[in-house]
Amino acid sequence: MSRRLALFFLGLLYATPALSEDKLDCANPQDQYSMTYCAGVDYENADAELNRVWPQARAAAKRQDEYIADDARSRGLLTASEALLAAQRAWLKFRDAECEYQSYAFFGGTGQPMIGSLCLAQLTRERTEQLRQGLNDR
């Protein structure tokens, strides 16, 4: 009996990756599971793009520091790169809290995780665009 049970669970382990490999059509999700999954994928993609742009923004701020860091420090101010890092940390806290709050409109429902992920994706794309704009302004 225990051998059969072990074989059953082993079969499930092999089947699970196959199920996850089935690609959902995120261009046209048809059920709540698909919509939630696709919202998560959307956020992952937005976050990956933010993480691609972030080093460029940090590098631009550090280049600016070459000209202003000593003056900023003498005035008791943050350097450009320090200010950018502080802003990013504050933004991350805001984004996470804001999206948790927005998801509470569907508290306890199957749509709550989807709304949270959609919010995370949207705010992350907006922040990425802000960082890109900062690159253009420097």
Instruction: Give the model confidence (pLDDT) of 33-49 as tens digits.
Output: 999 999 999 999 999 99
Q: How big, in percent rounded to 5, are the helix, strand and coil portions of the chain?
A: 85, 0, 15
Q: How many CB atoms within 10 Å of residue 111? A: 17
User: Which pLDDT score is estimated for 1?
Assistant: 45
- Residue 81 — very low, low, confident or very high, per pLDDT cuts 50/70/90? very high
- Residue 3 — very low, low, confident or very high, per pLDDT cuts 50/70/90? low
Mean pLDDT, range 76-94, rounded to an integer = 98
User: Which pLDDT score is estimated for 4?
Assistant: 53
Task: Please tell me the number of Cα atoms within 13 Å of 69 on its side-chain side.
Answer: 8
Domain 28-137 has CATH 1.20.1270.180: yes
Q: What is the DSSP letter of 26?
A: T
d(C-alpha 42, C-alpha 125), whole Å: 10
